[in-house]
Amino acid sequence: MNAPTPTVRDAIRLRRSATRLTGPAPTDADVVSLLAAAANGPDHGLLRPWRFILVRGDRRADLGRAHAGGLPPGAARDREVGKPLRAPLLISIVFAPRVNPKVPEWEQLAATSAVVHNLGLLLHSAGWGSIWRTGPASRCPRVAAALGLRPGERSLGWLYVGTVERVPPPRSGPDLRDRVSTLSAPGAATPLAPAAVLS
Ligand SMILES: Cc1cc2nc3c(=O)[nH]c(=O)nc-3n(C[C@H](O)[C@H](O)[C@H](O)COP(=O)(O)O)c2cc1C
């Protein structure tokens, strides 16, 4: 398990995607409790354009089978069927954009991403591991049907969740020198002083 991380800064700094996950996984009640907090993300118009579907046990293989439906029996098909089994819990991320004159779809996607990342951080802080996975299965109409997606909804993939087998080391942050500047005159941004970027 991850060591619990008490502060937001530590959780953000130390969180890593966990590619190898085993049981146990958080219960439905655990997930709902974390989501109640994660849902408090920035959301223009408070449209809450998302929902989540928890997938466990044999239902995971159903998703793999749905995606592999077009493949002949063999190794490639087995690989697809096995992919959703890489974690004991899959949290399907469903994007449900609304038509709104003030909030374009990209803003609703941004709000949904914020909730998903909040949830990943909260899972990490609670000692669970997760990784956001997409791939062709997330765009497969047969998988969408297996999930029972409604017209207008779109799968954004899954948070694979479980117990971390091997905790990846913290990642050092990106070089911010070319990514942060100050607008010093109209149309002209100048780099920050090195001390400001490094501190
Ligand atoms: C929208 C989205 C989709 C992702 N899809 C995949 C994926 O399909 N497979 C995968 O291995 N990782 C996926 N990732 C995780 C990234 O690979 C991972 O965040 C990146 O390698 C950085 O590693 P870190 O999260 O440990 O810092 C996805 C991340 C995001 C935000």
HEC string for 34-53: HHHHHCCCCCHHHCCCEEEE
**At a CB cut-off of 8 Å and minimum separation 6, what does 31 contact?**
52, 54, 89, 91, 161
pLDDT of residue 5: 56
The closest residue, in CA terms, to atom 11 on ligand 1 is 133
pLDDT of residue 173: 87
State the closest ligand 1 atom to the C-alpha of 116, by its place in the atom list counted from 1.
31
Q: Is 23 exposed, middle or buried (0-12, 13-18, 19+ CB in 10 A)?
A: exposed
State the closest ligand 1 atom to the C-alpha of 17, by its place in the atom list counted from 1.
26
Residue 198 amino acid letter:
L
Q: What percent of the chain has pLDDT over 70?
A: 95
Residue that wins the pLDDT comparison between 10 and 113: 113
Looking at residues 153-166, what average pLDDT do you find? 96
> All domains of the chain, ordered by start, with CATH?
8-171 (3.40.109.10)
Residue 120 C-alpha to ligand 1 middle, in angstroms? Answer: 12
Tokens of 129: 């591991």
The pLDDT tens digits of the residues spanning 101-133 come to 999 999 999 999 999 999 999 999 999 999 999
Looking at residues 58-62, what average pLDDT do you find? 96
